[in-house]
Structure 1
């Protein structure tokens, strides 16, 4: 279409001047199609410059590489049939592209968003570690063809993000030949199944995974799915976390175990001298209940929502300090996007040989408790 000629000339000129940064497409014509955005950048593959198109769908990303001529054809197709607007980012200008319902193309130049170009290395798209797995079907995440069920898209992303985190963590520690993992508060087992499958079938590790869950129906359900999948080293037990007495734990996991159940799980990991302790705390009632009705000096704690968040941070900070006291290197980071939940903090402790400064850590914990008028932290009494 001749309407796109000025756009293609602008892109061509930016390529000649070496000022092209990237291109994005937005405002889908049909929002229920599943394709939300398309991102375009330059990559170098086998010494040839290509345009890499990343198609951002609701449940997955698709990446395709095109020559200049193919890229122009795809741009025209996308702006004719799929999107109403796009932006070409160059170093001198951002070129905004608008397509009307009558297919009239309008260009508008505005101030540039970028001062430097993007690298042209060929980055492979992130591997979906949980793609096309039987357990996903049995757990209701995918259909029989392996397609992610739309309402489970967030769970699917969470599973893959979890495996991405696990991969980096286990690469940073020394583990025995046969790895013993306990997942305390395993629930329906989405992440428990994913971890077992990843370690056993993708990384080819000798591994045994035990899921601890109080709800008997979920334990029966998960053991049935494990049997269907042939996961001989994965089993689920119906019991309280504090009643689990296996002293051989290499990796202790507690994701969203409610209130002090997180502390019970951390304590089990510390006592077992686990190489890795991974937890995503849920609610933080124990400390908050102690200070209920107590006047706090800090103006931050005047407002209920700030008070809740502050005591969540205090609770998890003391957990991290207690882990450090027992020779764990700790870090706290975001687990998944907080778009759907604020309960997305992950606390990880990796066992080290470094001797801890116990007095200094105890002083820090004491100061925190004194500052906020806290009598005790539950985990202190468990280890």
Structure 2
């Protein structure tokens, strides 16, 4: 079957499935043993759908809407996987694809139902940092009372903090880390820095050497005093600029939260040069590409100010993620907090993978170059990593 015929038939078949609004999907039967993922499960949760991509040793989670599911199914079916099973109320659907890309579709009755117990569990979620136990940073932030109970008006903040810890925990929990060296660029008042230190040392029992870096002398002084008061002996804060910062130890994790504009690029550049095992970055104030935006063919993207601003911000994160992939990281862009709280709600999570194929790496770089050419972009991270080498 020709690719165009296959794509059209797959699209028609998937629409039959999606019309029934399934609550669970399982993508399986990889085409070869070298597949990056062994299977992919998409399942309805309380507010959205969770995608779980299973590799040999890990599982990677992201949250998506129902409308985004079909795109994922099209991306993987036929290319990397040959089977899809989906469950709707009272029905199960199965799509099988032969090696010659012939599609076989069946449906049958099913007694499988939405797991209401799990849905209820989500509503009463067991957070990594639970309430009921005094955690000094959270008490100082006003999130907990002195007894360790959540302050009602701060529940959203509590959820946001736990969401960030969950994103880190996804990479920590299945690895046997005994010791981690961590740098937090642009730490500011360091609320999350203290919480991360608490999580790693008190919950995961990992020995940590952690450094927070910022440009404000008074902030650094106060943070060091606070760390001493908490008894966080291996957490220190230094005055310094992200650009040109030198680490005198091997860096395992780099955190960069809301480093403004190109400061995020320098944080990522440092992490790459240090061959950091993990990177967690929440970009902020992505002005650079908005000033450069000059579409070659798609002038509509620069017609409206708010659109060009948001498009440039998304393009900035997209280019950064792809460049990290090119360098040799497995990279995801995740929702950090609900969009209703802030439009700056994306987090880049990158995990070093020395086995990434050259073909995949080169493809991600080519995508960056095509985007840059179309819109006239010349981002700082690209210049640091590619142009100046």
TM-score range, shorter chain: 0.5 to 0.7
Q: Which residue of 1 aligns with 2:293?
A: 291
- Mapping of residues 93-242 of structure 1, within 5 Å: 118-120=115-117, 123=121, 125-130=124-129, 131=131, 132-150=134-152, 152-171=154-173, 175=177, 177-242=178-243
CA distance in 2, matches of 1:144, 1:193: 17
Q: Deviations over 1:101-122 (max 9, x none)?
A: xxxxxxxxxxxxxx95544468
Q: Residues of 1 paired with 2:240 and 2:281: CA distance?
A: 19
Q: TM-score when scaled to structure 2?
A: 0.63
> What displacement does 1:198 show?
0.7
Cα drift, residue 172 of structure 1: 5.2
For the pair 1:368 / 2:371, whether they are aligned, the reply is yes
Distance 2:173 2:358 in 1: 23
Q: Note the C-alpha offset of 1:137.
A: 2.1
Alpha-carbon distance change, 295 to 182 in structure 1, aligned in 2, over 3 angstroms: same
- Partners of 1:146 and 1:123 in 2: CA distance: 22
- Describe the shift of the 1:143–1:263 C-alpha distance in structure 2 as closer, same or farther (beyond 3 A): same
Q: Distance in 2 between matches of 1:253 and 1:138?
A: 22
Question: Is the Cα–Cα contact under 8 Å of residues 260 and 378 in structure 1 kept in the other structure?
Answer: yes
5+ long unaligned stretches in structure 1: 1-38, 40-90, 92-114
Give the match for residue 284 of structure 2. 282
Could you tell me which residue of structure 2 aligns to residue 319 of structure 1?
320
Secondary structure of 1:204's aligned partner? coil
Taking the aligned partners of 2:155 and 2:215, their CA distance within structure 1 comes to 27
How many positions carry a matched residue from both structures? 268
Q: Which residue of 2 aligns with 1:334?
A: 335
4+ runs of 1 displaced by more than 6 Å? none
1:306 CA drift (Å): 1.3
- Which residue number corresponds to residue 380 of structure 1? 382
Structure 1 pair 325/190, CA: closer, same or farther in 2 (3 Å)? same
Offset, 1:150: 5.0
> Residues 258 and 282 of structure 1 are in contact (CA less than 8 Å); yes or no, is this contact kept in structure 2?
yes
Alignment RMSD (CA, Å): 2.5
Could you give the per-residue CA deviations for residues 29-72 of structure 1, whole angstroms, max 9, x where no partner exists? xxxxxxxxxx9xxxxxxxxxxxxxxxxxxxxxxxxxxxxxxxxx
Cα displacement (A) at 1:158:
1.5
CA displacement at 1:269 relative to structure 2: 0.6
Secondary structure of residue in 2 paired with 1:180? strand
Partner of 1:268: 270
Shift of 1:190: 1.4
Distance 1:187 1:150 in 2: 26
Distance 1:328 1:336 in 2: 23
1:330-354 Cα deviation digits (max 9, x unpaired) = 1111111111101010111110022
Q: Name the residue aligned to 2:58.
A: none
* Distance in 1, Cα, partners of 2:114 & 2:175: 37
Give TM-score scaled by structure 1 length: 0.64
State which structure, 1 or 2, has the greater radius of gyration over its C-alpha atoms: 1
